[in-house]
Amino acid sequence: MKLCGALLFALVAVQAAVLLSAVPSAQASELQVGYYSKKCKGLENVVKWHVVKALKAHRRTGAALVRLLFHDCFVREIKADLEHRCPGVVSCSDILIYAARDAASFLSNGHVHFDVPAGRLDGFVSKAEEAQAELPDSTDDVEKLIANFARKNFTVEELVILSGAHSIGQGHCSSFTGRLSEPADQITPAYRELLKYKCSSGSNPPVVNNVRDEDYNTVGRFMPGFVSRLRKVPDFLDNSYYHNNLAKIVTFHSDWTLLTQKEALGHVHEYADNGTLWDEDFSDSLVKLSKLPMPAGSKGEIRKKCSVINHRLY
């Protein structure tokens, strides 16, 4: 099963997302912070208002926002508001970046934050299969993950940094079936039994990525010594992923496999020891992701509706 972006945030979502393919109106180096300051005053406040409203109602939605996997109705709501205020000015691609930034900030209590360079156009082509094809798989080994990131000019360190987004969100059992039979040197047996129990509760049910967000009774049954570390507020974006990984209590094989490569392992230790450093480096990595260029010659527009192009192409 593909890791739709908690791992990558949007290695492809900015350029070939399910909803749209973003096309920078200029080279990545020419995207501007404050691009809409005169074109659409108050834009960032509008986006933030919608994001905070959604997260206060359904906090778990935040993980999807950080991955840029928006429900179409959510995008439409923001777009409709901005079209009323500034018709034909703000691209859906930029809305996605602003909203993902605001979700990350909300879920981290403001520790993850960055200024958004904007000025993208929306693509004329939206092909989910192309985006999906470029995403890593939850069963990938570290060598494949490193190669995948390297194709987009991301380092081993940045792979480890972005993997930290798995401190929030959830995954379906089909995405970690192999973990249910992996040996004790790869997954803590008590956690493996917890996952088996959760997956037996239905047909491919979702399971939280971070055991610290599990329900009290389940953790008390399988991992009683961990109960004191459960979080009162779920889906808090922080460096707990790295502590969990070192303890071999992470859900995906692609998470555990980072411990098998010397440089990656060093960075896992680094961010487990320094949460503030991870907040800063995660913010920087998201900015870099937001600047991924489209292929040369790409063309775009400002979509009136994010789900469809403005005019049929012949």
Largest CA distance in the chain: 63
User: Between residues 75 and 142, which one has the greater pLDDT?
Assistant: 142
* Mean pLDDT in residue range 254-261: 97
Task: Please name the amino acid found at residue 304.
Answer: K
Residues 88-103 have a mean pLDDT of 90
- 71 pLDDT more than 50: no
Question: Which of these ranges, 54-58, 184-188, 233-237, 238-242, has the smallest mean pLDDT?
Answer: 54-58
Average of per-residue pLDDT across 35-60: 90
Nearest 5°: CA angle at 211, between 279 and 102?
35
On the question of a common fold for 13-135+290-301 and 142-281, the answer reads: no
Range with lowest mean pLDDT among 153-162, 248-257, 305-314: 305-314
Query: What is the predicted pLDDT for the residue at 126?
Result: 62
Which among 165, 214, 211, 206 has a CA at the least distance from the CA of 188? 211
| Residue 218, annotated as binding a ligand | yes
Q: Where are the domains of the chain?
A: 13-135+290-301, 142-281
- Between the CA of residue 110 and those of 25, 160, 168, 280, what are the distances in Å? 29, 21, 15, 11
- Find out whether 305 and 76 touch, Cβ atoms under 8 Å: yes
Taking 60 as the threshold, does the pLDDT of residue 155 lie above it?
Answer: yes
Give the pLDDT band of residue 134 (cuts 50, 70, 90). Answer: low
Contacts 24+ apart (CB under 8 A), 216-223: 218/194, 219/194, 221/194, 221/197, 222/190, 222/191, 222/193, 222/194, 222/197, 223/190, 223/191, 223/194, 223/249
- pLDDT bucket at 122, cuts 50 / 70 / 90: confident
**Per the annotation, does 122 bind a ligand?**
no
Cβ(23)–Cβ(31) below 8 Å: no
Establish whether 71 is a catalytic residue: yes
272-278-283 Cα angle (round to 5): 160
Coil, strand, or helix at residue 206? strand
Give the model's pLDDT for residue 15. Answer: 36
215 known ligand binder: yes
- Which among 50, 58, 71, 243 is annotated as catalytic? 71
The mean pLDDT of 2-10, rounded to a whole number, is: 42
* 306 band by pLDDT with thresholds 50, 70 and 90: confident
Instruction: Establish whether 166 is an annotated binding residue.
Output: yes
Classify domain 13-135+290-301 at the CATH topology level: Peroxidase; domain 1 (1.10.520)
pLDDT the model gives residue 237: 93
Domain 142-281 maps to which CATH number in 1.10.1070.20, 1.10.420.10, 1.10.357.10, 3.40.50.300?
1.10.420.10
The dihedrals phi and psi of 135, each to the nearest 5 degrees, come to: -80, 145
Is 205 annotated to bind a ligand? Reply is: no
**pLDDT tens-digit series, residues 170-179:** 889 999 999 9
75 is in an annotated binding site: yes
How many Å apart are CA 280 and CA 235, to the nearest integer?
19
For the cut 90, the answer to whether the pLDDT of residue 300 exceeds it is: no
- Paired with 180 in beta bridges are none
Q: Are 236 and 107 in contact (CB under 8 A)?
A: yes
Q: Which amino acid belongs to residue 274?
A: N
The amino acid at 286 = L
Confidence (pTM): 0.88
